[in-house]
Amino acid sequence: MNEVVLVDDDVIVIEFLKKVIPWHDYGFQVVASFQDSSEALAFMEENPFDVLITDIGMPKLNGIELIEQLKKLKINSYNVILSCHDEFTFAQQAIKLEAYDYILKESMEETNIIALLERLKEKLDQEGYTSYQHIKVSKLLELTSRNEDVLKAQEYVKTHLGEKISLTEVAAHLHLNSSYLSRMYKKETGEGFVEYVTRVKMEKALELLDQSFKSVEQIAYELGFDSKSYFLKTFKRFYGVSPKSFKHKDNVSV
């Protein structure tokens, strides 16, 4: 399921969206809703989600400012703006922030929201397929590489998964220039070194979730992530579901 966060200081709008729209029928679930945009931001910093639907006119942080904060935090999501304002300045700001859609509340009917969900589902499904194909190709290239330095670099990564692993560190360990190692690794495997490190950590995370009773926090720490939130975002980007969803549903395959 793709995860949605709703933010609007009007409880009537929140209730309409939660109760009238058949989210599950279109592959979505509302994981949280807020009337306070500051509380919403705090939640989104710590929890993975795919789509934000937010009002513009709110106290503390308005919808535009909320999306700006997500951009600064490098939190990627599809952002949909709800507004009572049919004004060029608001639309212009939304376009600048690459909002996925801009919906006037006066035309916010069930059919319009469903049409939006259908478009979003197509985009998210395509992203998930592309990511999955990239992982499969990268794993194949990893198995076929016979370059000694590449193999040594991969072995170093696999034996230091609990640490923050940098290209500079691995190059120094192998007595190589870091720029040379980066170019050579990409040429041999078709995958960037940093991408490889992240992928191997995600594969280990999947194994730990499947075969142990460790918490998400424990797994994030064990794999050298600075924070639970960064681990959650990375996992969701790779597998299309949160660690919690995988743990309960076992619905990820690689």
Sequential DSSP letters for 23-74: GGGGTEEEEEEES-HHHHHHHHHHS--SEEEEESS-SSS-HHHHHHHHHHTT
Domain total in the chain: 2
Residues 181, 185: Cα–Cα separation, whole Å? 6
Which domain covers residue 204, as residue numbers? Answer: 145-249
Evaluate if residue 153 carries a pLDDT over 80: yes
In a domain, 89, yes or no: yes
- Domain co-membership, 114 together with 7: yes
Last residue of a domain, one of 96, 127, 158: 127
The answer to which of 2-16, 97-111, 125-139, 202-216 has the lowest mean pLDDT is 125-139
Strand, helix or coil at 151? Answer: helix
In a domain, 155, yes or no: yes
Model pLDDT, residue 25: 92
Tell me the pLDDT tens digit for each residue of 49-91.
889 999 988 888 888 899 999 888 878 789 998 887 655 566 6
In a domain, 134, yes or no: no
The tokens for 17 are 């969206």
- Domain co-membership, 98 together with 181: no
In a domain, 132, yes or no: no
CATH of the domain at 205: 1.10.10.60
Model pLDDT, residue 88: 54
